């Protein structure tokens, strides 16, 4: 089985969670005996061709710079990706499956699959409609259109949660049966490494409440900030660490100043993996108050680091966490419920312990990458067989 993946992100080019996903999926697919080639944008100082963990990585086009016209850059990348695909397709003796991750590589995926008559699988990690809670301008409508045509043209669509399955089906009109749910995975090993010298330090007496993610409104960080005064009243040693950066950062920092929380809230800015592990080591609870979350990989990661979680009952998060069993769930946007749940975990060690044990079991049975890679390889085999007997769903 030979698969060609198109992905906008691949380490070290990481913007959201996509790069990590494609990285893990591809190396575990190799364990399943799948031959994986990935076409992804060039990164400065990285080779155009590289074999890593048995995965063949092809970097093409210009490296992404934020100043450029993003759409033009994307389409130019697609054209270069097609060029590369044409060449490696004959070198490997023809791919069996094309796998396109998200709209950014939609045209490369669609055209190569069509012209080379190879089945197309796509993973829709999130939708433009969901990310923006609606479509509010021309660009968003265009992206929505591209996502829709990708979802409709693919032989099979993979999504990460029941929530996303329903969203894709209702937005684009593809029957639920064509949309295969394969959850994202987590690899506990990657949370082991610690930094030699973190850029910030946390005192042992601080009871760390940890949020990590992009600072955008859909992540709901402002509700967490507004819950903090109540938390501090009950647990004065509580310290909120906000890991990550994003367009909302300035606004959130102002909010902290206005609430006079400066000494109990720490913004790390961009956070390296080792630093993240360092915080998780100290953290007593991880909180993800998202309004929209296709999957909620962060909650899984927290569970993998043995940190109890509080999550908003939204999207994929609500499917990952079983309330009172593997974590605590609150109503999205409710500061009061957030505060209560955080206080319960910080003050009730028995509860924290119970949640952790259950979470660890769940991780080992459902969210392991080898399980996920096996399901993905199954999808590849199904589309290939269907093509051979002449069915196109």
Partner 1 sequence: MLVLHSHIPYVKRQGRWPFGEVWLFEAMAETYIPLLRSLKKLREEGINVALTFSFSPTLLEQLASRYIQQEFINYLHERETLAADDERYFISRGEIEQARIAAFYHRFYRDIRRDYLIEMDMDIVGCLRQLQEEGVIEVLTSAATHAYLPLLDYTSLQYQVHWGKRVYEHYFGRSPEGFWLPECGYFKGIEDILIDNGFRYFYVDSHAIEGGKPIEVFSGEESVGLEVETFASTGLSTYRPYRIEDKDITVYGRNAMISNQVWSADFGYPGDPDYREFHKHEMRSGFKYWKVTDRNNPMDRKLVYSPEKAMVRAGQHAHHFVRSLEENSREAVKLGFAAPLIVGCYDTELFGHWWWEGVDWLEEVIRELHHSAQLEMITANSVGPAQHEAQVFESSWGMGGKHYMWNNAETGWMWEIIKKVGQEYETLKFLSYNSEISRRTVTQALKELMLIQSSDWLFMVSNNLTRDYAMKRFFDHYTKLLRLSDSLTIGQLDEDFESWLGRVEYEDDFLNLRDHSGSGGT
Residues that bind partner 1 (CB under 8 A): 69, 71-72, 75-76, 78-79, 82-83, 86-87, 90, 107-108, 110-112, 114-117, 138, 142, 145-146, 149
Q: Dihedral, CA atoms, 172, 175, 178, 180, nearest 10 degrees?
A: 80
The least distance separating partner 1 from the CB of residue 49, rounded to whole angstroms, comes to 17
Name the token pair of 96: 């069996």
* Cα of 163 vs its chain's centroid, Å: 14
The least distance separating partner 1 from the CB of residue 70, rounded to whole angstroms, comes to 11
Nearer to partner 1 by Cβ, of 70 and 200: the residue is 70
Is the four-CA dihedral 72, 78, 81, 82 of positive or negative sign?
negative
Pairing of the two strands 238-243 and 265-269 = parallel
Nearer to partner 1 by Cβ, of 117 and 196: the residue is 117
Counting Cα atoms < 13 Å in the Cβ hemisphere of 210 gives 30
For residue 38, give the nearest of 19, 14, 64 by alpha carbon. Answer: 19
- DSSP annotation string for 20-61: HHHHHHHHHHHHTT-EEEEEEE--TTS-SEEEETTEEEEEES
SS3 content of the chain, % helix, strand, coil (to 5): 50, 20, 35
The least distance separating partner 1 from the CB of residue 107, rounded to whole angstroms, comes to 5
The least distance separating partner 1 from the CB of residue 44, rounded to whole angstroms, comes to 21
The least distance separating partner 1 from the CB of residue 141, rounded to whole angstroms, comes to 9
Nearer to partner 1 by Cβ, of 101 and 180: the residue is 101
What is the widest separation between alpha-carbon atoms in the chain?
67
Nearer to partner 1 by Cβ, of 143 and 241: the residue is 143
Nearer to partner 1 by Cβ, of 129 and 264: the residue is 129
Nearer to partner 1 by Cβ, of 87 and 389: the residue is 87
Phi and psi torsions of 81, nearest 5°: -65, -40
The least distance separating partner 1 from the CB of residue 149, rounded to whole angstroms, comes to 5
Nearer to partner 1 by Cβ, of 141 and 393: the residue is 141
For residue 379, give the nearest of 237, 118, 221, 181 by alpha carbon. Answer: 181
Cis bond before residue 371 (omega within 30° of 0): no
The least distance separating partner 1 from the CB of residue 71, rounded to whole angstroms, comes to 8
């Amino acid at each position: 089985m030979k698969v060609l993946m198109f992905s906008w992100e691949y380490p070290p080019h990481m913007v959201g969670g996509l790069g990590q996903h494609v990285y893990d999926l591809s190396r575990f697919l190799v364990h399943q005996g799948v031959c994986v080639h990935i076409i992804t944008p060039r990164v400065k100082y990285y080779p155009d061709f590289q074999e890593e963990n048995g995965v063949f990585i092809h970097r093409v086009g210009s490296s992404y710079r934020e100043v450029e016209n993003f759409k033009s850059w994307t389409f130019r990348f697609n054209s270069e990706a097609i060029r590369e695909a044409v060449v490696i397709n004959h070198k490997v003796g023809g791919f069996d499956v094309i796998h396109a991750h998200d709209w950014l590589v939609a045209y490369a995926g669609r055209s190569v699959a069509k012209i080379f008559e190879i089945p197309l699988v796509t993973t829709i990690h999130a939708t433009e409609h969901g990310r923006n809670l609606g479509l509010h301008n021309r660009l968003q409508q265009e992206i929505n259109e591209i996502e829709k045509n990708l979802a409709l043209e693919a032989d099979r669509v993979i999504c990460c949660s029941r929530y996303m399955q329903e969203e894709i089906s209702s937005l684009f009109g593809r029957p639920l049966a064509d949309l295969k749910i394969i959850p994202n995975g987590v690899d506990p090993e990657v949370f082991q490494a610690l930094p030699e010298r973190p850029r910030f330090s946390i005192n042992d007496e601080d009871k760390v409440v940890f949020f990590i993610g992009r600072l955008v409104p859909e992540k709901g960080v402002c509700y967490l900030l507004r819950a903090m005064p109540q938390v501090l009243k009950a647990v004065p040693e509580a310290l909120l660490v906000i890991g990550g950066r994003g367009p909302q950062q300035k606004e959130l920092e102002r909010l902290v100043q206005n609430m006079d929380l400066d000494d109990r809230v720490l913004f790390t800015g961009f956070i390296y993996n080792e630093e993240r592990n360092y915080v998780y080591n100290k953290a007593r609870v991880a909180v993800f108050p998202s309004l929209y979350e296709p999957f909620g990989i962060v909650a899984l990661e927290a569970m993998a680091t043995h940190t109890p979680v509080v999550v908003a009952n939204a999207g994929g998060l609500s499917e990952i966490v079983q309330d009172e069993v593997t974590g605590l769930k609150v109503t999205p946007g409710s500061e009061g419920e957030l505060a209560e749940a955080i206080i319960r975990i910080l003050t009730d060690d028995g509860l924290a312990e119970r949640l952790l044990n259950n979470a660890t079991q769940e991780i080992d049975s459902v969210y392991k990458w080898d399980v996920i890679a096996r399901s993905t390889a199954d999808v590849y085999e199904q589309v290939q067989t269907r093509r051979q007997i002449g069915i196109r769903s």
